Structure 1
Amino acid sequence: MKTLLSISFSLLLATQALASEQAALELQQHLSQLQGFQAQFEQTVIDADGVEIHQAEGKLSLARPAKLNWQQVAPEQDMIVSDGSTIWYYSPFVEQVTIMDASEAINQSPFILLADNRSESWQNYQVEKREQGYLVSSKLDPMQAAFWVKLNSDNSIARFDIIESTGQRSEFKLEGFKANPQFEPRLFHFEIPANTMIDDQR
């Protein structure tokens, strides 16, 4: 009986691993048609009890590999910029910029995988088809935020959510989606303003 249960459990794990691998391949194939995109976003943060606690809006640009320009315009004017190797998080309200290694940011949240097709960036994540979208979560850290993305029929991105281990959820609805635009290279590099406090965490 124990041998039979062991075999059944092993088959279940193998089936789940295969489904995850197929879902990951399918998602990456969809995203491979996007070398980059621009869109406006509306963010809604909902706590674990289902209560809306925050709203924000802004615009974002992503380009492969792992390049990002994220500008929140309301209620604060925060900015996140990545050139693929370095990430700058700038808060003009407190006049501070935090500098991080881009690979570490991927390890903290799989959101940046939308603009990263490198196998080494995906290897620590599992993918599951869920709720007409794809749920991406860490294989190594159950406390790390998961990421859910919904695609339209033309492979444009309709919405994505960042789901914290606490149950809090940030929903991002995209409007004005533009696939594969021509980007100015300077869009993905941040020039630190004068008199800004620097927190370099690299």
Structure 2
Amino acid sequence: MNSFRVVAVAAVLSAASVSAFADAAESLRAFVKDVKSGQSTFTQTVTSPDGAKKKVSSGSFSFARPNRFRFDYAKPYAQTIVSDGQKVWFHDPDLNQVTVRKMGDALGSTPVALLTGSSIEKTFDLKAQPDQGGLEWVMATPKDSGGTIQWLKAGFRGKGLVAVEIADSFGQRSLLTFDKLATDVALAPEAFRFAVPPGADVSEQ
């Protein structure tokens, strides 16, 4: 699954600023603890290590705790990623190929684990960051340093999650922004089930 982006740290912080930073960490904890489901459209921008190349994609996203989610990429190419909480299906319609992976192998310390998991601080160390772009930010660093994700940042406006930013071990940055993420919405169980299309080439890992 594609990865998510960057922040500059101020040299001197006022007491009011420190309080605001703490609020971002608390907002993330509250999001994981209290928000049971959500859906939104999204835009994802992936930036190359040298910052010269950017790849933009968009689509829709929904989730229901624990660990059920669906990404439907629409542009520039269609792709679907679905989890029922046990397995994750990756479907490329153009090639009619489906890859199936076990939940733990597919997620680990990923942005989806951050958004849909049930116990964030077992997997990540949290550290509040300076405000940027009108958002309050918190950094989540995976406790397992053996993965490909270096860190993730979640950006909040008030209690609302607006963006997730990621840096991977290859130097790539990715920014996922949500368009008015609706929370605690009623989602049909069928939304997180995947039916393999007729004739698809299926690979289970």
Assess same fold via TM > 0.5.
yes
Q: Which moved more, 1:73-82 or 1:48-57?
A: 48-57
1:116-127 aligned at under 5 Å gives the runs: 116-117=117-118, 119=119, 122-127=121-126
CA separation of 1:191 and 1:53: change in aligned 2, threshold 3 A: same
Return the offset for 1:33: 2.4
**Distance in 2, Cα, partners of 1:180 & 1:87:** 22
Pair 1:160 & 2:159 matched: no
1:32-80 residue CA offsets vs partner (Å, 9 max, x unmatched): 2211111111111111222232111101001100110100000111000
CA contact (8 A) 2:162 2:180 kept: no
**Distance in 2, Cα, partners of 1:125 & 1:24:** 12
Unmatched 5+ stretches in structure 1 = 1-21
CA contact (8 A) 2:91 2:99 kept: yes
Size of the alignment, in residue pairs?
A: 177
Q: Return the letter of the residue paired with 1:136.
A: A
CA separation of 1:87 and 1:41: change in aligned 2, threshold 3 A: same
SS at match of 1:191: coil
Select the structure that is richer in helix: 1
**Distance in 1, Cα, partners of 2:66 & 2:80:** 19
**Distance in 2, Cα, partners of 1:65 & 1:36:** 9
- Of the candidates 146, 154, 159, which is equivalent to residue 149 of structure 1? 154
Larger radius of gyration: 1
Q: Return the letter of the residue paired with 1:150.
A: G
Select the structure that is richer in strand: 2
CA separation of 1:104 and 1:24: change in aligned 2, threshold 3 A: farther
CA separation of 1:183 and 1:63: change in aligned 2, threshold 3 A: same
Unmatched 5+ stretches in structure 2 = 1-22, 131-135
CA RMSD of aligned residues (A): 2.1
Q: Which moved more, 1:143-152 or 1:63-72?
A: 143-152
Q: Return the letter of the residue paired with 1:148.
A: K
CA contact (8 A) 1:159 1:173 kept: yes
Q: Return the letter of the residue paired with 2:138.
A: Y
Q: Return the letter of the residue paired with 1:126.
A: D
Q: What is the TM-score when the length of structure 1 is the normalising length?
A: 0.80
Pair 1:190 & 2:191 matched: no
Return the offset for 1:95: 0.9
Return the offset for 1:140: 2.3
The equivalent of 1:69 in structure 2 is 70
Question: Higher relative CO (CA 8 A, sep ≥ 6), structure 1 or 2?
Answer: 2
CA separation of 1:39 and 1:90: change in aligned 2, threshold 3 A: same
**Distance in 1, Cα, partners of 2:31 & 2:93:** 36
Pair 1:38 & 2:33 matched: no
Return the offset for 1:106: 2.4
Q: What is the TM-score when the length of structure 2 is the normalising length?
A: 0.78
Q: Which moved more, 1:75-84 or 1:44-53?
A: 44-53
Q: Which moved more, 1:179-188 or 1:49-58?
A: 49-58
Return the offset for 1:84: 1.0
Q: Return the letter of the residue paired with 1:123.
A: K
Instruction: Provide the identity percentage.
Output: 24
